[in-house]
Amino acid sequence: MTGYADTRRVADLIEDLDQFTATPENGTTRLTYSAEYAAARDFIITHMLRAGLEVRQDAIGNIFGRLAGSNPDLAPVLVGSHLDSVPNGGRFDGPAGIIAGLETAYLFRDLRLTPERGLEVVAMIEEEGARFGGGLLGSRMLTGRVAPADLVELTDDHGVSMADAMEGYGLDPQKAVQAVLAPNAYHSFLELHIEQGPVLEDACQDVAIVDRIVGIAQLKVTIWGRAGHAGTTPMHARRDALTGAVAILSQLSGLPVQTSKEAVLTVGKLEVLPGGANVIPDLVNFTVDLRAPLAKDIDWMISCVRDIVGSACTGGLTGDVEEMLYAKPTMLSPDLHRCLTTNARALGLKYRTMVSGAGHDAMIISAVMPTGLIFVPSRDGISHAPEEWTDYAQLARGIDVIFTTIRDMTGA
């Protein structure tokens, strides 16, 4: 059967939004509260207004666009994703889910649908953690999982705290707690995302309906040593923080195989200070991203990292392991899984159920409302890279599933 989403409009929205990048020659780089982020926010607001939505920005910069329902007693359905990106990422990770919400709103307008239950599109901040670390921060703040004091502690690579960055963006960090969602504010949350892996493409399938998301922990390991002259300090007298860090790093990649076949570990960020070719490093810090379907496996890997750091910090080195993120493995709503599956089938799409190895705002929001997540195919399974690509017709098919499910849920 023919679909609903306007593929041309979806393609234009994705491409126009992608102008707002700090690295136009090398993918999408849109860090939370940056100038590009502000321009992208204005673009989303313009389209929310054009689609007939009533727009509000919350206390931390998440953007909501509401189409009121005829029955004000019914809590609205929330649909969307995140507006930030990783450094030099792609144009679909995050935006695909926001555009799915926007296109749904455009379809409600074009088809003159009048929902009984409202519908709200959301564009969230800082899912990737690319600026302030940890990740899933917009949804964690919406669900009350971030203490106000953390806004001063969380800093970017230039030492700017989240609180200061909020002020630069025109927000008052003292009011951040106002962003926490009231209980029962929404009926449910739906997110569309690109798969970011090869499964759908290899199986020639259109959509995956996610039933659970793996657990994720992110640690920041810091090793302190003593700076000194590279030419005059004998080897035995050194407290080289990088030598300690290398001893730790060499043991980390072996951890997942000792844990489970689905466990993974990534060190994606490493800093060596003071950063002089002829200076013995006195400080090294690096991130450790750990994922596994079972919480006990995440916990085991965290305790191993702590032990490895402890035993490497001898001979005048000291170390610390800070937990930046701990998101437990998450089951999504079986009811929404059923609705999404029913609609994928009714649309004549090829679909499957899938476990997500990537983190998504859906896993945080599911703690406070029933949540559903669907994936559309990623070409060659590539994501978090400029080559990230999803055919617009495939994206439109996923949006059809979102649209028909929201149409059913809102009684339109």
Q: How many CB atoms lie within 10 A of CB 282?
A: 19
Number of residues that bind ligand GLV (CB under 6 A): 4
Q: Which does 359 bind (CB under 5 to 8 A by kind): ligand GLV, Mn ion, none?
A: ligand GLV
Residue number with CB closer to ligand GLV (210 or 358)? 358
Residue number with CB closer to Mn ion (308 or 362)? 362
Q: What beta strand segments (E) does 165-277 contain?
A: 188-194, 207-213, 215-224, 228-229, 264-266, 270-273
Mask: binding to ligand GLV, 304-343, rule CB under 6 A, as x and -? ----------------------------------------
> Could you tell me which of 130, 146, 191, 243 has the C-alpha nearest to residue 365?
191
From the CB of 162, what's the least distance to ligand GLV, in Å?
A: 18
Give the torsion sign (CA, 49, 127, 402, 72). Answer: negative
> Bridge partners of 265?
290
C-alpha–C-alpha distance, residues 67 and 117, integer Å: 9
* DSSP 8-class letter at 149: T
From the CB of 255, what's the least distance to Mn ion, in Å?
A: 23
Residue number with CB closer to ligand GLV (86 or 245)? 86
From the CB of 288, what's the least distance to ligand GLV, in Å?
A: 13
Please identify which residue in 119, 241, 309, 358 interacts with ligand GLV, judged by CB under 6 A.
358
Give the binding range for Mn ion (CB under 5 A) out of 16-24, 65-73, 93-101, 144-152: 93-101
C-alpha–C-alpha distance, residues 184 and 190, integer Å: 15
Q: Which does 349 bind (CB under 5 to 8 A by kind): Mn ion, ligand GLV, none?
A: none
From the CB of 388, what's the least distance to Mn ion, in Å?
A: 9
> Would you count residue 359 as binding ligand GLV (CB under 6 A)?
yes
Q: Which does 103 bind (CB under 5 to 8 A by kind): ligand GLV, Mn ion, none?
A: none
DSSP string, 390-402: --HHHHHHHHHHH
* Residues 5 and 403: beta-carbon distance below 8 Å: yes
Residue 37's SS3 state is helix
From the CB of 384, what's the least distance to ligand GLV, in Å?
A: 7
Mask: binding to Mn ion, 50-89, rule CB under 5 A, as x and -? ----------------------------------------
Q: Which does 76 bind (CB under 5 to 8 A by kind): ligand GLV, Mn ion, none?
A: none
From the CB of 190, what's the least distance to ligand GLV, in Å?
A: 18
Q: Which does 191 bind (CB under 5 to 8 A by kind): Mn ion, ligand GLV, none?
A: none
Q: How many CB atoms lie within 10 A of CB 271?
A: 14
Please identify which residue in 135, 281, 372, 398 interacts with ligand GLV, judged by CB under 6 A.
135
DSSP string, 332-378: --HHHHHHHHHHHHHTT--EEEEEE-S--HHHHHTTTS-EEEEEE--
Give the binding range for Mn ion (CB under 5 A) out of 50-58, 92-100, 297-305, 392-400: 92-100
C-alpha–C-alpha distance, residues 43 and 38, integer Å: 9
From the CB of 206, what's the least distance to Mn ion, in Å?
A: 19
Amino acid present at 43: F
* Residues 215 and 298: beta-carbon distance below 8 Å: yes
Those residues whose C-beta lies under 8 Å from the C-beta of residue 342, and which sit 6 or more positions away, are none
> Would you count residue 173 as binding ligand GLV (CB under 6 A)?
no
> Could you tell me which of 228, 219, 221 has the C-alpha nearest to residue 319?
221
From the CB of 112, what's the least distance to Mn ion, in Å?
A: 32
Peptide bond into 234 cis (omega under 30): no
From the CB of 114, what's the least distance to Mn ion, in Å?
A: 32
Residue number with CB closer to ligand GLV (58 or 84)? 84
- For residue 173 the two structure tokens come to 């960090």
From the CB of 128, what's the least distance to ligand GLV, in Å?
A: 6
> Would you count residue 93 as binding Mn ion (CB under 5 A)?
yes
**CA 129, 320, 217: angle at the middle one, nearest 5?**
40
C-alpha–C-alpha distance, residues 51 and 45, integer Å: 10
> Would you count residue 126 as binding Mn ion (CB under 5 A)?
no
* DSSP 8-class letter at 184: T
Give residues in contact with Mn ion (CB under 5 A): 93-94
Give residues in contact with ligand GLV (CB under 6 A): 128, 135, 358-359
